Amino acid sequence: MSKRKQIDLSIDKIEEQEKYIEAIHRMNEGLFNRTGYRKSYFCTTFGCQMNEHDSEMLINMLEAMGYVQALSEDQADLVIYNTCAVRENAELKVYGNLGHLKSIKKKRPDMKIVVCGCMMQQPHVVEEIKKKYRHVDLIFGTHNLYKFPELLESTFNRDKIIVDVWDVDGEVVEGLKSNRKFEIKAFVNIMYGCNNFCTYCIVPYTRGRERSRKPGDIIDEIRSLVKDGTKEVTLLGQNVNSYGKTLEDDQKISFAQLLREVNKIDGLERIRFMTSHPKDISDDVIYAMRDCDKVCEFLHLPFQAGSTSLLKKMNRHYTKEDYLKIIEKAKREIPNLAFSTDIMIGFPGETDQDVDDTIDICEQVRYDSAFTFIYSKRRGTPAAKMLDQVPDDVKHQRFERVLEVVNRISGEKNANYLGKTLEVLVEGASKKNEAVLTGKSRHNKTVNFTGGDKSMIGKLVQVKITDPKSFSLNGELVK
């Protein structure tokens, strides 16, 4: 499809949905004018930053339709669960929440319940909801987010559940606006989907294959955000290092080149990105991080397991040695670089020696933080069919062993910041103490500090660290 046709198609789809937004807005305004009552929504997001960003777009549509945010799902006229299929716990929470709403819906039959996102891309999940949670009004998936206003409108005069889940990924629809959680920080999708098919992961089946956004659309979005006050952007993709591979020849650039282009945007202060896949991160990306002053000295690089044999079973396409060479290169080019990672415990066939290899990587790299989790079967993935599943009690013992190492190293890394002065982007007041401000350093450290006031929110300030904690840093403003 030509660039011109893609643009026209996105415009047509957005214009069509704006008609439904306007129609629902008129209906809600009419209700308010007659009764003084505003309809409300409550949106709960499960999963990753991609899901968070999808929810930001859904909320923007809802508020354009005249809905206001409710204090709780029990009070809301419309409840949305934007779901995640990666972890079993997230799925169980969704089912539990839906069960909780059943009695509330009986008392308030006009309440609308919407379930969307990655879980809905799995046919067995949709059948489960249709069978056991008939009080749900609408189900849709990850590929037709832009159709939400149209789908919502169709629930108003129907008692039966509406299901609109696409089993294929289509073109990227541009022009969807977001209601950002933070005005000063924003997620920006640079691509959708994943081509890696790790044996434990459901994402390629729920998010589809890789599709990169055109660089011009990404740059335009970020410029618009900066104009509205955004200081920091996080570029999002399941594997940002694959960015650009699906672009047409006249648009094709690499992720490293994109970083350099975003770095040129006037008024933008900071750039972050996630997630990087070790098999695809290039020297050019590391050099771009080194050279671009706005790219933060922070790299999230999941290794999942320290054992080369397990990595092969996971279909990760790198070895333990490959991973450590990447880390060594990054440390050499960017000496003050901070690292975070993902660590999976209990993958089928895992041995005590494999866990030793994982701990060895933690000790060598010395991560500032790590998301450590226990493997759970995901229906439809090759790993779920493997016969050598690890018993739950063994998984938990190994998990605690690794977590102890991760937390110890994190505390030791933070202790090294005592007496140092860090640049902090102020995000707001601490939830625990209004007199304390909080923000993030370039190394993604949460920094709480005294000596400032709320006029500093959205600004970069210098903070001297006086009391490092295991998972955050406390300090005082340098005036």
Binding site residues, as ranges? 48, 84, 118, 194, 198, 201
CA 45 – CA 320 distance, rounded (Å): 34
Two tokens at 397?
């013992």
Contact 265, 215 (CB under 8 A): no
C-beta atoms surrounding 393 within 10 Å: 8
CA-wise closest residue to 189 among 204, 207, 201: 207
Three-state SS at 72: coil
Contact 299, 289 (CB under 8 A): yes
Three-state SS at 433: coil
Amino acid present at 189: N
CA-wise closest residue to 119 among 108, 109, 128, 111: 128
Interior/surface letters 56-73, b for 16+ CB within 10 angstroms, e for the rest? bbbbbbbebbbbeebeeb
Which residue is associated with the tokens 């190994």?
398
Q: What are phi and psi of 58, to 5 degrees?
A: -60, -40
CA 12 – CA 174 distance, rounded (Å): 11
DSSP secondary structure letters along 139-195? EE-SS-GGGHHHHHHHTTT--S-EEE--SS------------S-SSEEEEE-EE---
DSSP secondary structure letters along 21-70? HHHHHHHHHHHHHHHSPPPEEEEEE-SSHHHHHHHHHHHHHHHHTT-EE-
Give the H/E segment covering residue 468. Answer: strand 460-468
CA-wise closest residue to 191 among 145, 156, 243, 141: 243
Non-local (6+) Cβ contacts of 62 within 8 A are 41, 43, 78
Q: Binding-site residues for [4Fe-4S] cluster, please?
A: 48, 84, 118, 194, 198, 201
Strand partners, 371: 342
Two tokens at 433?
């103490």
CA 59 – CA 39 distance, rounded (Å): 13
Strand partners, 464: 421, 476
